[in-house]
């Protein structure tokens, strides 16, 4: 998976590649899909949600430019797979998931992997976690018509936010970098994600 799907497609960050080698992806999918866990595609995880393809997970985390000392906010924790990768490459991860069943299952798997630097909260991810802000990096694993202002407000100076933005069926992966009062926006690639549901996303 790492050699063909990640290195072969331009992922260079050593910490990200090492983390993707370590985290057992098959633990985060239903048993019926375990044989496809390391394939180059997203997989259903129930409740209309998916676990992103390995390349997209790696590309989004690499785009954050993490060095290992950051506090990261993850919106849409889902299965907990991306959370587990983040837990290796960042100092602390705050993950928000709106579906209780998924959050509970992810916590159980992460505990089994001794990911003690992960905090999981159940709630509306479009609101972020203002009580824990600011965050050095924010990663959003679902698509919104626009970047929620509530999230950019919680981004630390010099921090980066990576998320898919666009319509229901087609989006662009964007990176927002905060510098003082200004927000620099870059388009990284085309993508397709499930909807970000919440007050500042899809209703």
pLDDT in tens, the chain (203 residues): 999 999 999 999 999 999 999 999 999 999 899 999 999 999 999 888 899 999 999 999 999 999 999 999 999 999 999 999 999 999 999 999 999 999 999 999 999 999 999 999 999 999 999 999 999 999 999 999 999 999 999 999 999 999 999 998 899 999 999 998 899 999 999 999 999 999 998 88
Residue 168: the pLDDT is 86
Q: Which residues are catalytic?
A: 52
Considering the domain delimited by 2-191, tell me its CATH architecture: 3-Layer(aba) Sandwich (3.40)
Provide the residue ranges of all domains of the chain, joining segments of one domain with +: 2-191
Return d(Cα 122, Cα 124) in angstroms, integer.
7
- C-alpha closest to that of 90 among 63, 111, 116, 117: 117
- Distance, CA of 15 to chain centre: 16
């Amino acid at each position: 998976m790492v050699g063909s799907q990640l290195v072969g497609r331009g992922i260079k960050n050593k910490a990200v590649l090492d983390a993707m080698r370590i985290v057992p992806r098959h633990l985060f999918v239903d048993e019926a899909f375990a044989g496809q866990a390391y394939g180059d595609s997203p997989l259903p995880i129930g409740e209309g949600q998916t676990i992103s393809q390995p390349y997209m997970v790696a590309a989004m985390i690499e785009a954050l430019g993490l060095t290992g000392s950051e506090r990261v906010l993850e919106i849409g924790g889902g299965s907990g797979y991306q959370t587990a990768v983040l837990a290796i490459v960042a100092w602390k991860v705050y993950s928000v998931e709106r579906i209780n069943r998924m959050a509970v299952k992810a916590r159980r798997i992460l505990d089994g992997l001794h990911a003690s630097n992960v905090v999981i909260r159940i709630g509306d991810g479009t609101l972020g976690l203002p009580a824990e802000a600011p965050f050095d990096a924010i990663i959003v694993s679902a698509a919104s018509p626009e970047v929620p202002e509530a999230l950019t407000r919680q981004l630390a100076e010099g921090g980066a936010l990576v998320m898919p933005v666009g319509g229901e069926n087609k989006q662009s992966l964007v990176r927002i970098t905060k510098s003082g009062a200004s927000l620099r926006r870059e388009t990284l690639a085309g993508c397709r994600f499930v909807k970000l549901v919440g007050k500042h996303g899809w209703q």
